């Protein structure tokens, strides 16, 4: 980075001896800065960059640069081995014209219902219930048990639930026990039920995270607000709408953001449980990118989808973050 | 609060149902892991003769010792380095006047939303041209970069809340930037640092896509990557698969239960800041 190698003090000299128009971008003078600043202050400011340099360097090499390359690849046709041929906007057009690619994006949005809407909703319910219980061992156990799925590798979640959904698995066992044997099926191999079944795994993983987050948020709400609501004769629902929900604004934003990213960029669970099948019924962008690059050698097409996914996540997350900030 | 018994029973009932939902898949795995090897077990039923030996068989056939060793090496490569770099950057961005600090922070923060899948294709070709494909550094190096935004975000949030009066006092005493950091701020940051280390441990331990793509040999992968390979190999032997999976998730569970209290607390403080 050129800015770091600048010897301390050059910036000051350049602002005084050279007309501003000729200064290089790295040495932009600070407007209105008096020329007689002590040398050390300038030196310390530049040396502050050294603190940031290792972190930013690793990030630049292993995140920013690959991201830039993804954009680049997306305009080429490349099998990963031979020479790449320019493909113009073909890979990008395919995102809207090829049904398979479109459907993978569609499924990602369906998964938001399971990864975000249900866990946030159920998490609110669970947190409200735990709050109303007397503090005690059951309270702690409930929190720990609900949180466990979040700590496990998603691969383990995929394996556990693949077994749950298999023909001899627990889901079918329960159905048989209740005399609903006619409704048993291989859930992950079923064209109608595979996507919701995969979605339920998402609920399982995310529920604890949302519950614990909400619970902490509720703990921070001023108890006198609940007192006041009760004195005003508010019922449970009103109390929830008027006190709990507004008090949880920031927790809701964090939960929604985190789980939505997990939904849109899901990979592990689906790769383990269905690999996108049956047919394309559970295909999501993450798995499709993996298949396009590593199984079908369509590097350009994979990259276009990858960049699209990155932008999509950003576009979906942005308004939620804004919502969290305004007060 | 006055509540009727009926209300309390309903509440406890709903909670118990949610807890059951969370724990049942793991219980089903556990009873299955104890079933007779090669038998077609049922979803949830305690076997007449629990075969505890299955765990030993799974340990050997999944080569778990090598896998745990490999994961530990990867964690040692990722966590201390990332925590150190993120701490330095977070401190500078919060407490020192970094030229262009705001822009640097914004660029880093965008990385919080970036899915690994968006980078995996170029990462594969980059690491191939570096000659690192199939080695542990191929997992370690990108992971350091990928975890960095969260680390910087986390540590900056911590140092923003740090007492500025302390800094001023130390400055008057003639302490330099490094001294102030080392003697004043770093000791106070211990809880934030340990929470971040636990989170990074889990993120590394549970990382699946990078090892899947970048390292063919399961014995050089992370635990999650090895588990994926194990499933591919023994997917049809459900008893062995369940036993192996349980062994593999055990360390994550233990770490979580040990750090449970601090962990959740710290996670929440950081997340909501």
Q: What percent of chain A has pLDDT over 90?
A: 39
Measured distance CA(B240)–CA(A287) in Å, rounded: 27
For residue A17, the distance in angstroms to the closest alpha carbon of chain B comes to 22
Q: Which of A33-47, A124-138, B87-101 has the lowest mean pLDDT?
A: A33-47
**What integer pLDDT is reported at residue A7 of this predicted model?**
37
Q: Which of A45, A265, A290 sits opposite B99 (nearest CB)?
A: A45
Measured distance CA(A100)–CA(A90) in Å, rounded: 15
Could you tell me where the DSSP H helices lie in B96-189? 101-110, 117-129, 137-160, 164-172, 177-179, 186-188
**What integer pLDDT is reported at residue A22 of this predicted model?**
39
**What integer pLDDT is reported at residue A52 of this predicted model?**
93
Task: Answer for the pair A111, A261: CB distance below 8 angstroms, yes or no.
Answer: no
Q: How confident is the model over B105-110, as a mean pLDDT? A: 91
Task: Answer for the pair B34, B14: CB distance below 8 angstroms, yes or no.
Answer: no
**What integer pLDDT is reported at residue B161 of this predicted model?**
82
**What integer pLDDT is reported at residue B262 of this predicted model?**
67
End-to-end CA distance of chain A: 39
**What integer pLDDT is reported at residue A300 of this predicted model?**
92
User: Which residues between 81 and 120 in chain A have a beta carbon less than 8 angstroms from any beta carbon of chain B?
Assistant: none
| Residue B137 pLDDT level (bands cut at 50, 70, 90) | very high
Q: What is the separation of C-alpha B36 from the centre of its chain, rounded to a whole number of angstroms?
A: 33
- Quick: pLDDT tens for B142-188: 999 999 999 999 999 888 887 777 777 888 888 788 888 888 888 88
Task: Tell me whether residues A49 and B28 touch, CB distance under 8 A.
Answer: no
Structure tokens, B60? 């050997």
Measured distance CA(B144)–CA(B152) in Å, rounded: 12
Please tell me if residue B96 touches chain A, with a CB cutoff of 8 Å: yes
| Residue A203 pLDDT level (bands cut at 50, 70, 90) | very high
**What integer pLDDT is reported at residue B53 of this predicted model?**
85
A163 or B61, higher pLDDT: A163
**What integer pLDDT is reported at residue A44 of this predicted model?**
59
- Chain-wide mean pLDDT for chain B? 85
- Quick: pLDDT tens for A105-138: 999 999 999 999 999 999 998 888 887 777 778 8
Structure tokens, B215? 């390292």
- Chain-wide mean pLDDT for chain A? 82
**What integer pLDDT is reported at residue A18 of this predicted model?**
38
From B259, B221, B258, B229, select the one nearest B245 (Cα to Cα): B229
Instruction: Give the number of beta-carbon pairs within 8 Å between A and B.
Output: 291
Q: Which residues of B touch A48 (CB under 8 A)?
A: 92, 96-99, 101, 177
Q: Is A55 helix (H, G, I), strand (E, B) or coil?
A: helix
From A20, A129, A105, select the one nearest A306 (Cα to Cα): A105
Residue with tokens 């789980």: A259
The interface predicted TM-score (ipTM) is 0.87
Task: Answer for the pair A168, B41: CB distance below 8 angstroms, yes or no.
Answer: yes
User: Which residues between 191 and 250 in chain A have a beta carbon less than 8 angstroms from any beta carbon of chain B?
Assistant: 204, 207-208, 211-213, 216-217, 250
Residue of chain A whose Cα is closest to the Cα of B125: A80
* Helices (H) then strands (E): counts for chain B: 13, 0
Q: How confident is the model over B16-23, as a mean pLDDT? A: 91
Task: Tell me whether residues B118 and A67 touch, CB distance under 8 A.
Answer: yes
Q: In the predicted model, is pLDDT for residue A10 greater than 50?
A: no
| Residue A9 pLDDT level (bands cut at 50, 70, 90) | very low
Q: Which of A185-189, A232-236, B196-200 has the lowest mean pLDDT?
A: A232-236
Please tell me if residue B12 touches chain A, with a CB cutoff of 8 Å: yes
Structure tokens, A244? 């709990």
**What integer pLDDT is reported at residue A264 of this predicted model?**
94
- Quick: pLDDT tens for B222-268: 888 888 888 888 777 888 889 988 998 888 888 888 877 766 666 66
Q: B245-272 b/e with 16+ CB inside 10 Å = b?
A: bbbbbeebeebbeebbeebbebbbbbbb
Q: How confident is the model over A31-53, as a mean pLDDT? A: 63
Inter-CA distances, A295 with A82, A288, B51, B108, Å: 16, 10, 39, 32
Please compute, for residue A274, the number of CA atoms within 13 A of its CA located in the half-sphere on the CB side.
30
Q: Which residues of A touch B148 (CB under 8 A)?
A: 55, 58-59, 63
Q: Is B136 helix (H, G, I), strand (E, B) or coil?
A: coil
Question: According to CATH, what is the number of the domain B63-272?
Answer: 1.10.3720.10
Task: Answer for the pair A184, A172: CB distance below 8 angstroms, yes or no.
Answer: yes
Measured distance CA(A273)–CA(A188) in Å, rounded: 7
Task: Tell me whether residues B88 and A265 touch, CB distance under 8 A.
Answer: no
For residue B247, the distance in angstroms to the closest alpha carbon of chain A comes to 11
**What integer pLDDT is reported at residue A11 of this predicted model?**
38
**What integer pLDDT is reported at residue A15 of this predicted model?**
36
Measured distance CA(A283)–CA(A23) in Å, rounded: 53
Residue of chain B whose Cα is closest to the Cα of A209: B264
**What integer pLDDT is reported at residue A58 of this predicted model?**
95
| Residue B141 pLDDT level (bands cut at 50, 70, 90) | very high
Structurally, what CATH architecture does the domain formed by A98-325 represent? Orthogonal Bundle (1.10)
- Quick: pLDDT tens for A258-285: 999 999 999 999 999 998 889 889 999 9
């Amino acid at each position: 980075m050129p800015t770091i190698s600048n010897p301390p003090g050059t910036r000051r000299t350049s602002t005084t001896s050279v007309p501003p128009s000729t200064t290089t971008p790295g040495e932009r003078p600070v407007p209105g800065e008096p020329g007689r600043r002590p040398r050390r202050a300038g030196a310390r400011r530049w040396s502050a960059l050294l603190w940031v340099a290792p972190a930013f360097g690793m990030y630049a090499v292993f995140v920013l640069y690959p991201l830039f390359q993804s954009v680049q690849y997306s305009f080429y046709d490349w099998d990963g081995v031979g020479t790449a041929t320019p493909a113009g906007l073909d890979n990008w057009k395919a995102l809207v014209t090829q049904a398979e690619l479109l459907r993978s994006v569609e499924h990602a949005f369906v998964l938001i219902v399971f990864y975000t809407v249900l866990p946030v909703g159920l998490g609110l319910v669970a947190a409200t219930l735990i709050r109303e219980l007397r503090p005690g061992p059951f309270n702690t156990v409930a929190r720990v048990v609900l949180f466990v799925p979040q700590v496990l590798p998603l691969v383990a979640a995929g394996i556990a639930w693949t077994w749950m959904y298999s023909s001899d698995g627990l889901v079918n066992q329960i159905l048989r026990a209740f005399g609903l044997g006619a409704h048993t099926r291989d859930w992950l191999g079923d064209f109608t039920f595979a996507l919701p079944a995969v979605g339920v795994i998402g609920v399982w993983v995310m529920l604890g995270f949302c519950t614990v987050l909400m619970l902490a948020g509720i703990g921070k709400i001023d108890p006198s607000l609940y007192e006041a609501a009760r004195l005003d004769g508010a019922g449970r629902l009103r109390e929830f709408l008027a006190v709990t929900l507004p008090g949880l604004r920031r927790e809701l934003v964090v939960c929604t953001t985190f789980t939505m990213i997990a939904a849109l960029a899901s990979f592990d669970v689906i790769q383990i449980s269905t690999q996108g099948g049956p047919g394309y019924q559970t295909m999501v962008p993450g798995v499709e990118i993996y298949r396009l690059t590593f199984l079908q050698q369509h590097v350009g097409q994979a990259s276009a989808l990858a960049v699209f996914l990155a932008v999509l996540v950003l576009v979906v997350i942005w308004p939620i973050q804004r919502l969290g900030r305004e007060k | 609060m006055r509540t009727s018994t009926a209300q309390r029973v309903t509440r406890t009932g709903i909670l118990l149902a949610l807890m059951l939902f969370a724990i049942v898949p793991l219980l089903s795995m556990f009873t299955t892991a104890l079933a007779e090897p090669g038998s077609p077990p049922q979803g949830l039923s305690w076997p007449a003769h629990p075969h505890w030996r299955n765990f030993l068989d799974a340990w050997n056939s999944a080569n778990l010792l090598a896998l745990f060793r490999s994961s530990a090496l990867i964690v040692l490569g990722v966590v201390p380095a990332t925590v150190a770099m993120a701490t330095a950057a977070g401190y500078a961005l919060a407490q020192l006047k970094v030229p262009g600090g705001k822009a640097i922070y914004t660029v880093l923060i965008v990385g919080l939303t970036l899915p690994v899948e968006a980078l995996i294709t170029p990462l594969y070709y980059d690491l191939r041209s570096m000659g690192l494909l199939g080695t542990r550094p191929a997992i370690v190096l990108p992971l350091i970069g990928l975890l960095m935004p969260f680390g910087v975000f986390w540590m900056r949030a911590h140092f923003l809340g740090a007492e500025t009066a302390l800094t001023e006092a130390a400055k008057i005493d003639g302490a330099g930037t490094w001294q102030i950091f080392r003697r004043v701020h770093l000791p106070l940051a211990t809880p934030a640092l340990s929470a971040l280390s636990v989170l990074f441990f889990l993120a590394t331990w549970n990382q699946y896509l990078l090892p899947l793509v970048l390292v063919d040999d399961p014995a050089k992968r992370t635990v999650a990557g090895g588990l994926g390979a194990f499933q591919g190999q023994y997917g049809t032997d459900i008893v062995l698969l369940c036993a192996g999976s349980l062994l593999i998730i055990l360390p994550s569970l233990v770490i979580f239960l040990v750090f449970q209290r601090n962990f959740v607390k710290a996670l929440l403080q950081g997340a909501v800041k």
